[in-house]
Amino acid sequence: MDTEQICAGRVVIVTGAGRGIGRAHALAFAAAGASVVVNDIGSTLDGASTAETPAAQVVAEIEALGGRAVANGDDVADWEGARRLVRQAVDAFGKLDVLVNNAGFVRDRMLVNLSEDEWDAVVRVHLKGHFATMRHAIEYWRAEAKAGRPVDGRIINTSSGAGLQGSVGQSNYGAAKAGIAGLTLTAAAEFARYGVTVNAIAPSARTRMTETVFADMMAAPESGFDAMAPENVSPLVVWLGSVQSAAVTGRVFEVEGGKVALADGWRHGEPADRGARWDPAELGPVVADLIAKATPPEPVYGA
C-alpha cells in the first residue's frame, strides 16, 4: 500500500463496508495506514438478511495488500450490536479513533403508498444506526478523556442530497438523511469538549442504492475518469478521519466525482418584523415579499 499514510496508527470503524462506498472507505483507510473494523451484516438492497459475508471478503482484500482489518457482522441499529462493534475495535486494536457511519438501505416508494414497516425499517437503520454507534463511541471517548488520556476522535456520518434537498419517492430515506445532518450538528457541538469532531458527507456515487438513479451514467466514460465510482468519495472521508482535520467540525460536505463542496444548510433569513402580533390577513403580501427576496431553494430530486 503506497498511499500517503495520513492515518497511520489510527483505528477506524466503517459500517456498511462490505460493498460500494463503505468498501471503498475501508480500503482507502487501510491504504492510508489505519487498522479497520469492517462492519457489514450482508443484507440485500432492501435490508433482508442473506448468508453472504462481504465484510470478511473486504478484510481479505485489505490483508492481501498488507493492511490490518477485522470483520464485524453486528446490526448497527441494534443497541447491543452497536456496543459490541465499538468494543471489538478496542479489543482488536487497543483503541478507537474514527467512526464512519455508512450503513443503510432503501425501500423506495411514493409517500401515498409507503407502509409503516417501510418507514420504520429505513429510519431505523439510517438514523438509529447512526445514533447507536455514535452513542457507544462517545461513551468510550468520554471515559478516555476523563481518565486523562488524549483523545483525537473523528465521526464521519453519511447524509444524502435526498436529505438536504428532498427526493421524490424517498420520503423515508430523505427524512432519515435529513435527521442525520441535524444529528451531526448537535453532536459536533456536544462532543467538542471530549476532543471529538463530527462531520457528514452527502455523496453521489454508483452503488446498489443508486444504480437506477444513475443508470444513464453507468457506461464507461470516454474521458477515462469515472465520476460515479464510489472510490471518489473516500479521499475526503480519509482526510476527515485523519489528525489533519482537527479544526473542522459540524460541517456537511457534498462529494461527487472530483468535486467537493460545503452544503450551506438552513440559515436565518431576513425577517419582516411588525413589532407586534401579526393579523393573519396581513401576511399574504409579507410572505410573498420574503419569498421574492430569498434565494430559491434547490430543486427536489425527481420533481
Return the active site residues: 160, 173, 177
- Backbone φ, ψ for residue 57 (5° rounding): -65, -40
Alpha-carbon dihedral sign for residues 47, 53, 55, 57? negative
Residue with cell 485489505: 62
- Backbone φ, ψ for residue 237 (5° rounding): -65, -40
Closest CA to 70 of 83, 82, 87: 87
The grid coordinates of residue 284 equal 399574504
Closest CA to 201 of 241, 255, 137, 123: 255
Q: How many whole angstroms separate alpha carbon 62 and alpha carbon 89?
A: 16
What radius of gyration do the chain's Cα atoms show? 21
Q: How many whole angstroms separate alpha carbon 200 and alpha carbon 58?
A: 23
- How many separate helices (H) and strands (E) can be counted in the chain? 9, 8
Alpha helices in the chain (DSSP H): 20-31, 54-64, 79-93, 116-123, 129-146, 161-164, 171-191, 234-240, 283-293
Q: How many whole angstroms separate alpha carbon 179 and alpha carbon 174?
A: 8
